[in-house]
Structure formats: C-alpha cells, structure tokens
Amino acid sequence: MTCAPSLVDAHGRTIRYLRISVTDRCDLRCRYCMAESMTFLPRDRLLGLEEIAVIAERFVARGIDRIRLSGGEPLVRRDVGDLVRRLGRMVGHGLDELTMTTNATRLRLHAPALADAGIRRINVSLDSLDPGVFRHITRHGDVAQVLDGIAAAREAGLTVKINMVVLKGLNEDHVGDMLDWCGREGHDLSLIETMPMGAIDEDRTDRFVPLTHVFETLSARFALSRDTHRTGGPARYWRVGEHGNRLGLISPLTENFCGGCNRVRLTTEGKLYLCLGHDDHVDLKEALRTGGIAALDDALDRALPMKPAAHDFRIEAGSAPAVARHMSVTGG
C-alpha cells in the first residue's frame, strides 16, 4: 500500500491539526469578532457537506490527526450533524480527535449527537457570567441559554473548556471569578487576547488587554504552577492549585509561540489559510472541483511553502486590522 506523503512546511513543522470553518454565519455578534451589520457569504459560495468531508478525509490521509470544527457558529449550519457523523467515523481510524468550538446557544439540541458521533471535548466561548455584560459583548446573547448548553454537554459526557476573550472595561475584572467558577464546575479556562482580524464597529486597541497583566492579577489570588501541556497551538498552560483545573493563556500579541505551530485552516468557501495572521492561501474548492483528489494533493503541496514562520499581528491605535478577514471566516 502506498502512503500519501505527510504535510511538512518549509520550516520543518509537520502539520497535524486542521480547523474547519463550517459556516461564517452566527446567531451572535460579539463586538470584538464582527460588526453588528456583518454581511455573510452567499450560500452558493460555500463548500458542500460532501466537499468538506472529502477534503477532511484527504487531510487525514496526509497525516492530520486532529480536526476542530468552528465558524462562525458551527451549530447554525443546518447539515452540521451529518458532517460531524461523517467525520466522526475517522476517529480511531487516522483521526485521534474531532472537536468543536461553539457559542453553545444551540448546544442543548446538539450535544447528544455530537457525543454519539465521537466528539469528546468541546470549547465554549463565554466572555462573562454576568447576564448584562454577556448581552452587551455579544450584542444580544442570553447567558442562561449558554449555561444550559454547557450543562447539556456535560450530561452528554462531553468535556468543556471555556474560552474567554479579555476586553478592557468590559470583562477584565471578571477573569478571577470566571477562573473560580470554571474550577468549581470542572472546566479548564483559556484566556485570549483580542486579535486584529477584520473590521468591527470600534477600535480594538481600546479594548486590548495584555494577558501578562491579567496573569499578574490572577497570581495574587490563585496558586498557579506551570503545566507542560502543549497542543502545538499558541497557548501556554498553568495548573490552578485551588481547583486542579487548567488555565491557558493565548497571547499572540504579547508572546509569540509560532515556532511550534502545527495547524492550518479551511474556510467555509474552501480556501486553505496557512496562518491566522497572513493572507496567503490556496483554493481547495477550485482544485477539488476541477481535478479531484490529485489536484487537491497538488494544491496542498503548493500551500505548504506558504506557511510563514510567524504571524505579523500588532495592535496599534487607529491602524487597520492585520488581516481583512474575520476570525469567523477562518475559524478561530
């Protein structure tokens, strides 16, 4: 049997992790993520479910062993359950792990099916436990619905990690209470610096909080010890002595960990981006539609040398975002 060649970039990094944005649409409008009047792609430009599955299967044949479904909000795509079931069949057969990042508004409905399909862990975005602050950040979200979604996930046997983007003047003073709540509920917590991706209604600089500052404050309240857990992503981890859960810091602006990056990202339109912070990409939809698997393989081989050594994110007052596309297009 011939084995498809694995994906190694020009910097010697083996690519093992694929994020797929299954839709750029969302039922929320988080202020740091998108403008209130965000326009979405016309449906006829999106990859079909079968195309996503074929591309994902080819990635797995070429050595990808982790796939995360994201968006936009993945659970607003009507056929997402079918996709999860199809991709779930690869778990244990080339794929070590299938995961999802969700805002949890529809998790009560979907959690049992996600668990049945082979998903074991999900990330849920929750930027505040305070109903008013949560509503303000998401523009119209209901925190009770998210907490109910998280409860449903736990009932279905899923492990939940919470993602929190730290925002000056909005939720920066809630981080300690969030870490405490996560500890009591048995969730790990990842804190994220707001990244300059896509135009929003305000200047992100005004909301940017360096996680180094947040970490100092948390260290005064919690016994934090360094944890060596690494995922090939940009997070560094600490163990929280009081509860035993893990704290992750994703701080691409203040600390750059691109050297070990093993991930690539497929947009809902079929474009493969090699880095969150760069525009270089190849069009896998076009390749698949015109030349099938052989053309897909060629496109992947053309893409690899485009993976940059590091992103170019900088937060500077009044400057345009580093990349014009939103996180919801590339799948955060």
Span from 39-47, 151-159, 189-197, 255-263 in contact with ligand SAM (CB under 6 A): 189-197
29 binds, among ligand SAM, ligand SF4, none (CB under 5 to 8 A by kind): ligand SF4
Q: How far is the CB of 138 from ligand SF4 (least distance, A)?
A: 6
Q: Nearest CA to 305 among 4, 5, 19, 8?
A: 8
- The Cα–Cα gap between 94 and 92 comes to 6
| Pattern 94-123, ligand SF4, x by CB under 6 A | ---------x--------------------
Q: Residue 248, interface with ligand SAM (CB under 6 A)?
A: no
Q: Residue 72, interface with ligand SF4 (CB under 6 A)?
A: yes
Q: How far is the CB of 71 from ligand SF4 (least distance, A)?
A: 6
What is the largest distance, in Å, between two alpha-carbon atoms of the chain? 59
Any idea how long the chain is?
332
Q: Which of residues 153-172 bind ligand SAM (CB under 6 A)?
A: 163, 165
- Of 103 and 245, the one with the shorter C-beta distance to ligand SAM is 103
Q: Residue 80, interface with ligand SAM (CB under 6 A)?
A: no
Number of residues that bind ligand SF4 (CB under 6 A): 12
Other beta carbons less than 10 A from residue 1's beta carbon: 2
- The Cα–Cα gap between 292 and 283 comes to 13
Q: Residue 275, interface with ligand SF4 (CB under 6 A)?
A: no
Q: Residue 251, interface with ligand SAM (CB under 6 A)?
A: no
The phi and psi torsions of 61 (rounded to 5 degrees) equal -60, -25
Span from 70-78, 154-162, 198-206, 284-292 in contact with ligand SF4 (CB under 6 A): 70-78
Q: Residue 88, interface with ligand SAM (CB under 6 A)?
A: no
Start-to-end CA distance of the chain, whole Å, equals: 36
| Pattern 28-47, ligand SF4, x by CB under 6 A | xxx--xx-------------
Q: Residue from 328, 329, 330, 331 that binds ligand SF4 (CB under 6 A)? A: 328
Chain residues in the site for ligand SAM (CB under 6 A): 26, 32-33, 70-71, 73, 101-103, 125, 163, 165, 192, 194-195, 197, 327-328, 332
Chain residues in the site for ligand SF4 (CB under 6 A): 26, 28-30, 33-34, 71-73, 103, 125, 328
